[in-house]
Amino acid sequence: MKTSNAGVELIAQFEGVRLKAYDDGVGVWTIGYGHTGGDVHPGLAITMKRARDLLRQDLAKSENEVNTTIKRPLNQSQFDALVSLVFNTGALPLRSTLGSCLNNSDFRGASNEFPKWCKATKNGQLITLEGLVRRRKAEKAMFDARSTSDVPAHWLNTSEKAWVTRYDALDDAGKGNSPEAHALQEKMRRQRKSIWRLAQPKAKGGDGNGWHFRHRIERYRSLKARTT
């Protein structure tokens, strides 16, 4: 199996994107959704379409882990959720209780394992990271969905989803610099700024609900990725 468009979108929003090559801090040149390798060098710039293509290329290892480790049939949404998890954590979940549940057809048990993979080591201590809590929640929702059509970009409102869908179609067709694409970018840029303002504390002019209200952080990232 391969990751669906809905699965790629889910992963992309949590990975974040950079369209110009950057040093990751330890001398590794990186671009797109965390892509590294001999093809990345200082000064390299890519399009959003190329970033998505590289992400799909980089997902192959995680897809292979799921395809070879899980012996029971999976539907597309289950497969996508597992690829997202493995791409983020490595294959350990598939070799732990989650994988054991799947190989014994205990899908409810497997679903309940997702929230447990939200810790990371910081300053020598194992702590829960809010970003991982949100990601596991989104992956669990995808795993539990009947089909990927129930979940793609579910955090976007109707207008945002229409802008993103149309802009991506133009970019895929090589028309990312067309007048229509620029007009869509301007709408997304204004919306992104509106989300940022509302997410600020009341003392700074926001509404006090913060970034996690109505998926603001995921919506902001989706729009920023297309307006950078």
Q: Is 65 a catalytic residue?
A: no
* CA 226 and chain centroid, separation: 14
SS3 128: strand
**Active-site residue identified among 15, 113, 139, 160:** 15
Give Cβ neighbours of residue 148 (< 8 Å, ≥ 6 apart).
4, 5, 6, 7, 76, 77, 80, 142
Among 42, 39, 38, 47, smallest CA distance to 17 is for 47
In this structure, the strands spanning 29-32 and 35-36 are antiparallel
Four-residue CA torsion sign, 99, 104, 105, 106: negative
CB atoms within 10 A of CB 22: 13
Which uninterrupted H or E stretch holds 18? strand 18-23
CB 225 within 8 Å of CB 16: yes
The residues that are catalytic are 15
